[in-house]
Amino acid sequence: MPDHLGDDMRKVKTTDKEEPEKEIKSLDEGDIALLKTYGQGQYTKSIKTVEDDIQTIIKRVNELTGIKESDTGLAPPALWDLAADKQTLQNEQPLQVARCTKIINADTDDPKYIINVKQFAKFVVDLADSVAPTDIEEGMRVGVDRNKYQIHIPLPPKIDPTVTMMQVEEKPDVTYSDVGGCKEQIEKLREVVETPLLHPEKFVKLGIEPPKGVLLFGPPGTGKTLCARAVANRTDACFIRVIGSELVQKYVGEGARMVRELFEMARSKKACLIFFDEIDAIGGARFDDGAGGDNEVQRTMLELINQLDGFDPRGNIKVLMATNRPDTLDPALMRPGRLDRKVEFGLPDLEGRTHIFKIHARSMSVERDIRFELLARLCPNSTGAEIRSVCTEAGMFAIRARRKVATEKDFLEAVNKDSDDQKMAIMRKAFQMFDTSKSGFIETQKISTILNTMGQLFDDTELNKLITQNDPDKSGTVNFDGFYNIASHFLEEDDDESTQQELKEAFRLYDREGNGYITTATLKEILAALDDNLTSRDLDGIIAEIDTDGSGTVDFDGEYPLSRPGADATHHHFCRVHGDDDWRLKDTSAHPIRRHLH
C-alpha cells in the first residue's frame, strides 16, 4: 500500500526504530564533585583537592609507621562481642613476676631454674615450650605461670621511669662545629672519651687502661654540656644527662637505687655516655657531724663510687661530670681510677668569642659584613651563654624595628644593653649587701665605703655634692635609685679617662693591613660610630685638620691639640671632635664602643 511519507521522513522513522535505548548511569563521586564546583562556589574543588592530599599523606604515614586501619579507631558496634571478650579474659591467666636466682644443670638437656617470688618464696620450675634455655640468665626477671609454675617469658630489667627519662636521646644533634671557644678542651675530651670507644685496640696493644671518668669544671655557660653532647654525637653513643639534685631523694636508699639502675640501663646500650651535671650536689666532701639528710647524700655518693669501680674501663660506658666548684668535691671521688682527667673550661679568648658569635649568627637572618671581631672585643670576659644572650637581644631589636634582618647596629645596641644590665646587677648586689635592715634605704655615710669596695675612685667634694642632690630632705639615707645615680656618675668619669686606650683599640681593629695607617674614609667611619651627632661637615673639618699633607691616610703616632690655643695643653692621638667654640672630646659614654673597647 503506498504511503504518503516523503523520503526524508521515511529515513528518520527507520533510524528511530533501529537505535537501542541508552541506559542512564548513576553519578559517581567525580560527577558529584563537578556539580559541587558549580553549585557551592569556585573554591570547593580546591578544598576537595586539599582534602584528598591530606588523606593520601595520612595513609602514607600510617604505612611507614606500621599502623593498620584497625589501630586508628574503635571497631564498629556491629563487630562487638562482649561475651567472647569476657571469656577470653577469663582464659588468659596473668603471669607472676619473679627473679631467676640460679640455674641448675645448665649444661644438660633438662635444666631447672630456682626463682624467687616476693623475696620470701623459692620454687624450682621448668621452661615453657615458647622459651629457649638461652633466653634465661641468672638474676633476670621472668614471667611465671602461677598454675603450672613454668617460665613463660623473660622480662626486661626493672628500671625506675625517672631513671629512664634521664636518657636524652640516642644521638645528640650537637657537633664539634657547634661549639666555640673550647678548642683545647675538645681535643682533651676526644683523647680520653672518643678514642677508647672508637679505637680500643690502641690501648690493648700498649697494655694500658683508658681513663674511666673525666671532670669538667669552670664557670657556668662555658660549654661543658655542649662538649659532652658533641663527643656523644661523634661516637654514636647514647647520651644520658643526670642533674645531681635529681639523685637526692626523700626516702633512705632511693638515691643509691637510682644510681644502680642508671648504670644498669647504661650497660644495656651499645655505647653510653653518662653526664653528671652539677655533681657537687651529691659529691661534696664528707664530714663527721653530718645530719640525716647529709648522710643520705653521702650514701648516694658512695654508691656512685662503687659503680665507678665496678665497670670495665675498656667497656662501653664513659662517665663525665661537671661542676662549677671542684674544690667542694670529695677526695675519694676525685682520685685517679675514678675521675682520671680534669678539664678546665675558662672564659673564651677573643678568637673564641668571635667564633661563638659566628655560630649563633648562622641560624639568624643577619646582614652581610658584620664585624664579629669588633663585637667580640666589646664583650670581654663574657661566656658563651652571655654571647648567645646578646645575639638573642639583637634579634629582639630587629623585631621591634619591624625588620626581617638583624643589623650590626642591633648587635651593638644589644651589647650596650647587656653591659647596662650587668652594671645594674653589680650595683644592686652591693646595695643589698649594705642594706642590713632590708628597708630599701642605706645611710649616705656608707656610700663611700661601697664605692671603695667596688674599687671605684671618687672625689669627696663631688661625692658630698651628689649626696645632697639625691637626699633633698637631708634624712641621711638614700634608696637604690639615688645610690645608682651617684655611683654611675663616677663610673662614667672612669670611662672618659679610658678614651685614649679605646680609640687605640679601634685604630688597631681597622688597621687590617697592620702597617700602622688607616685611610681618612675609615677614620670617618670610626668617628661616626663613636658619635651619631657628627655631621658630614664636622667630619670633613676634622679630616682637614689631621690630614694636613692630603695623603688620605692617618697614623696613630701624631699628637693633636684638643684645647684652644692658650688653654691648658691637652693632647690626644689621631682623633678630635669639633665643638661649637673649642676642640673637645665628645661625650660618647652611652655608646658600646666607647664603653667597652678597653
Output DSSP code: residue 167: E
In this predicted structure, what is the pLDDT of residue 568?
34
pLDDT tier, 594 (very low <50, low <70, confident <90, very high otherwise) = very low
Residue with cell 675609615: 522
pLDDT tier, 201 (very low <50, low <70, confident <90, very high otherwise) = confident
Pairing assessment for the beta strands 150-155 and 141-145 based on DSSP bridges: antiparallel
Alpha helix segments (H runs only) across 347-383: 350-362, 372-377
Packing angle of the helix pair 44-65, 29-39 (nearest 10 deg):
140
Check: CB of residue 395 under 8 Å from CB of residue 436. no
Could you tell me how far CA 427 lies from the centroid of its own chain?
29
In this predicted structure, what is the pLDDT of residue 216?
92
For 406-473, the DSSP string reads B-HHHHHHHHHHHHHHHHHHHHHHHHHHH-TT-SS-EEGGGHHHHHHHTT----HHHHHHHHHHH-TT
Alpha carbon distances (Å) from 288 to 216, 292, 298, 299, 332: 28, 12, 11, 14, 15
Q: Chain-wide mean pLDDT for the chain?
A: 74
For 497-531, the DSSP string reads HTHHHHHHHHHHHH-TT-SSEEEHHHHHHHHHHH-
Q: Is 484 left (phi over 0), alpha (psi -120 to 50) or beta?
A: alpha
Q: What is the mean pLDDT of residues 354-379?
A: 88
465/72: higher pLDDT:
465
d(CA 415, CA 83): 73
Q: Is the dihedral of CA 203, 206, 207, 208 positive or negative?
A: negative
Pairing assessment for the beta strands 95-104 and 112-117 based on DSSP bridges: antiparallel
What is the per-residue pLDDT across 368-382, written as a single tens digit (0 to 9) for each?
888 888 888 888 888
pLDDT tier, 215 (very low <50, low <70, confident <90, very high otherwise) = very high
Residue with cell 658600646: 592
What is the per-residue pLDDT across 119-132, written as a single tens digit (0 to 9) for each?
667 888 888 888 88
Residue 32 scores a pLDDT above 80: no
Q: Is 240 left (phi over 0), alpha (psi -120 to 50) or beta?
A: beta
In this predicted structure, what is the pLDDT of residue 332?
86
d(CA 591, CA 584): 17
d(CA 445, CA 441): 12
Packing angle of the helix pair 254-267, 292-310 (nearest 10 deg):
20
Residue 498 scores a pLDDT above 70: no
Name, in order, each residue with C-beta under 8 angstroms of 390's C-beta and a sequence gap of 6 or more: 375, 379, 382, 411, 414, 415, 418
Q: Which of 8-12, 188-192, 422-426 has the lowest mean pLDDT?
A: 8-12
Could you tell me how far CA 457 lies from the centroid of its own chain?
40
d(CA 330, CA 1): 131
What is the per-residue pLDDT across 457-482, written as a single tens digit (0 to 9) for each?
677 777 777 877 777 777 788 777 77
Alpha carbon distances (Å) from 553 to 333, 511, 548: 62, 11, 10
Residue 289 scores a pLDDT above 80: no
Q: Dihedrals φ, ψ of 360, to 5°?
A: -75, -30
Q: What is the pTM of this model?
A: 0.53
Give percent of the chain with pLDDT exceeding 70. 69
In this predicted structure, what is the pLDDT of residue 321?
92
What is the per-residue pLDDT across 516-552, written as a single tens digit (0 to 9) for each?
667 777 777 777 766 666 677 777 777 777 776 777 7
Alpha carbon distances (Å) from 169 to 138, 232, 316, 471: 30, 10, 17, 59
Residue from 180, 181, 176, 187 nearest 348 by CA: 181
In this predicted structure, what is the pLDDT of residue 18?
54
d(CA 265, CA 569): 76
What is the per-residue pLDDT across 402-443, written as a single tens digit (0 to 9) for each?
999 999 888 988 888 877 666 777 777 777 777 777 777 887
d(CA 214, CA 220): 17
455/86: higher pLDDT:
86
In this predicted structure, what is the pLDDT of residue 561?
32
* Range picked from 193-207, 241-255, 423-437, 553-567 for highest mean pLDDT: 193-207
Longest dimension (CA), the chain: 146
Amino acid at 411: F
Output DSSP code: residue 188: H
* Range picked from 71-85, 133-147, 153-167, 350-364 for highest mean pLDDT: 350-364
In this predicted structure, what is the pLDDT of residue 254?
79
